[in-house]
Every structure is written in structure tokens, then in C-alpha cells.
């Protein structure tokens, strides 16, 4: 990795500031990164080194958390988001994207935002972090992958009611999800021929039509067609048997049909280590798999494990893209 990782500050009233400091304390001798944010929002007594450009992050790491200063309009009060800071949060994300797209940073890692705070304070027009990143990158479709050392999962539909899933799922949409996942595993994980298992929509993958016919009507034909195109696909698989250890050895990622089908296994297997990865962007983006946790912000109770894993995974992905040893 030739450039440091950019870490955006997220919502300053949440646990992001303390996570950034804790991650630096764990990783200062391992990999270089820098925080984009307001130094005044960091915990009192934190070791901080303000840097003028990302290039100074490597030299600054041994002394303190490198911070690329971005002044906010208001102080940060733990647990109480201030609408005055909403635009600053949004601007930091855009600044991080600019840096990674200009190769000043090797990857982007984002600390949690609070969507309602951004909507209330700055009229944030996007459903979430990922959609804003896709807009900044001028990308039509991206894929959310949750990953830990033992499992990678991709939900084909995300934050919608379960009753809406059968209608939202389409052959074109599922194909595009599989294609983006496949290319992402090649480019960002160095897997030359990824093995992907596709879950069925219905219990027991429909059991031959006894419990739903989507598998027979279009899911299986789509998988069969994509196999003829060179994709190494398995399925549709019964979701109740595809996540135990022996089965996981047979695939590199699982594409699931809806939110809980994907997130229950990843959070059961690697709750503190799970990382949110956005595939399909022209740059690397990872994030801890949790929110702002206003209820514990500022109390020193936040677990930095997911942030640490997100930074490590970003570094490995950057190494895979550049062809360097991870």
C-alpha cells in the first residue's frame, strides 16, 4: 500500500471520535491512516497530530492520530447531534471521496453517520451513506457486502419490508448483484475465479415448488445461464444449511435474497468483526458494521473492533488492487 487510508469522522456526537483514537492506538505500528475531521471533537487528552496533506500521515502515525483538519460549525456533545454540524459531516465524506479518487489515499473507511441528523440539519437527500458515495462516484448501482474472516454475504435487497422482497427481486437485479460481487471479489480480494453460492428465496429453496415457485420460474434458470457464461455459481441453496462451517468452505461469498437472510449469519459468526464493504465503486470503501450508538457515546464503552477490522480490510483490498502482498 503506497498511500494511507482516509477515515471520515462520521457523526461527531456518536462514538466515531473515540473509535478513531482507539483504532490509531491499535494500528499505529501496523498501517497508516488519517482522520478527516475536527480535532476539537476528539476525546480530551487524545494524542493527535494535525497534518497538512495525507502524505504526512505515515510519518505522523507513531506520534499520534493523524488528523486532516476539517473545522465544524459547532462543538460535539456526546449523544446529542447538533444540526449545525450536519453539513460538515456531508462535506467530510465528499472530501474523502476526492482524496481517494485523486490517489492521495489508497482507500476510504467511513465512521457511522446519523441519517436523520443529516436530513434535519442539511436536507440530506440520500437514503444513506452508500447512496451518497455512489452519487459522488457517478455510479448507478453498488452492492453492500458484509464480511468477516469466516464469511462474506451480499443481500440482493436491503432495507425493505419482507412482504416487498418477492416483488423487488428481479432477474436483472439479481444478475447485476452477482456480477458486481464477482468482479469485486476478483479486483479487491485477489480471487481469480470466485465461487458464489446463491440462496433461495423460499424455505428449502422452494422444495420443488411446494413452498414457492420463484426458484423454479426464474432463479434457477438465471443461475444456469450465468454458469454457461463462466460464473462459478451454486444454488439456489436452502438458507438454513448454507452457513455452517463445512458448507462455507465451498464458496467465497453468499448472495442472499433479503436483509436478515444475510445479516443474521454474519452477525452471529462475527458480530464484533463484521465490516461493511461497498462493491461497485471505482474506489475502495469499508465501514464498521454498526451505528452511532448515541446511548454510549463519550463513555469509553465503544468497542473499536469493527473499525479496526474495517481499516485492516481496506488495507488488504488496496494491496489486492495494486498487486502487492497484503
Residue ranges for the binding site for a divalent metal cation? 159, 204, 259
Classify the C-alpha dihedral 58-60-66-67 as positive or negative. Answer: negative
Binding residues for substrate, by number, are: 129-130, 267, 276, 285
Yes or no: say if 265 and 151 are a contact pair by the CB < 8 Å rule: yes
| Cα–Cα distance list, 97 to 7, 108, 164 (Å) | 10, 7, 33
DSSP 140-153: S--EEEEEETTEEE
The 10 Å Cβ neighbour count of residue 84 is 13
Distance CA 258, CA 164 (A): 10
Distance CA 140, CA 280 (A): 9
Yes or no: say if 104 and 1 are a contact pair by the CB < 8 Å rule: no
- What is the enclosing helix (H) or strand (E) of 91? helix 86-101
- What is the enclosing helix (H) or strand (E) of 182? helix 171-189
Yes or no: say if 70 and 36 are a contact pair by the CB < 8 Å rule: yes
- In our burial notation (b when 16+ CB lie closer than 10 A, e otherwise), range 120-156 reads ebbebebeebbebbbebbeeeebbbbbbbeebbbbbb
Binding residues, by number, are: 129-130, 159, 204, 259, 267, 276, 285
Nearest alpha carbon to residue 73 among 125, 16, 19, 12: 12
Distance CA 265, CA 76 (A): 35
| Cα–Cα distance list, 13 to 17, 67, 91 (Å) | 8, 18, 16
Yes or no: say if 287 and 109 are a contact pair by the CB < 8 Å rule: yes
Amino acid at each position: 500500500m503506497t498511500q494511507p487510508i482516509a477515515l471520515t469522522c462520521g457523526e461527531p456526537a456518536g462514538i466515531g471520535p473515540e473509535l478513531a483514537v482507539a483504532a490509531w492506538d491499535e494500528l499505529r505500528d501496523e498501517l497508516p491512516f488519517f482522520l478527516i475531521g475536527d480535532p476539537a471533537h476528539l476525546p480530551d487528552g487524545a494524542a493527535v497530530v494535525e497534518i497538512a496533506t495525507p502524505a504526512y500521515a505515515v510519518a505522523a502515525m507513531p506520534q499520534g492520530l493523524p488528523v486532516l483538519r476539517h473545522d465544524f460549525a459547532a462543538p460535539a456533545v456526546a449523544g446529542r447531534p447538533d444540526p449545525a454540524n450536519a453539513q460538515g459531516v456531508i462535506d467530510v465524506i465528499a472530501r474523502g471521496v476526492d482524496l481517494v479518487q485523486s490517489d492521495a489515499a489508497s482507500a476510504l473507511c467511513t465512521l457511522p453517520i446519523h441519517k436523520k441528523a443529516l436530513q434535519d440539519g442539511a436536507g440530506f437527500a440520500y437514503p444513506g451513506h452508500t447512496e451518497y458515495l455512489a452519487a459522488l462516484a457517478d455510479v448507478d448501482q453498488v452492492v453492500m457486502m458484509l464480511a468477516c474472516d469466516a464469511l462474506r454475504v451480499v443481500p440482493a435487497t436491503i432495507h425493505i419490508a419482507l412482504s416487498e422482497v418477492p416483488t423487488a427481486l428481479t432477474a436483472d437485479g439479481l444478475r447485476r448483484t452477482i456480477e458486481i460481487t464477482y468482479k469485486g471479489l476478483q479486483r479487491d480480494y485477489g480471487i481469480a475465479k470466485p465461487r458464489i453460492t446463491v440462496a433461495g428465496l423460499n424455505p428449502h429453496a422452494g422444495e420443488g415448488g411446494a413452498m414457492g415457485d420463484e426458484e423454479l420460474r426464474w432463479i434457477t434458470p438465471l443461475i444456469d445461464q450465468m454458469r454457461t457464461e463462466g460464473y462459478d455459481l451454486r444454488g439456489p441453496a436452502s438458507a438454513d444449511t448454507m452457513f455452517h462451517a463445512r458448507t462455507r468452505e465451498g464458496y467465497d461469498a453468499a448472495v442472499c435474497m433479503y436483509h436478515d437472510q444475510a445479516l443474521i449469519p454474519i452477525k452471529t459468526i462475527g458480530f464484533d468483526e463484521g465490516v461493511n464493504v461497498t462493491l461497485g465503486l471505482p474506489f475502495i470503501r469499508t465501514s464498521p458494521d454498526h451505528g452511532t450508538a448515541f446511548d454510549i457515546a463519550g463513555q469509553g464503552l465503544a468497542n473499536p473492533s469493527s473499525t479496526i477490522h474495517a481499516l485492516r480490510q481496506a488495507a488488504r483490498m488496496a494491496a489486492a488492487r495494486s498487486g502487492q502482498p497484503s
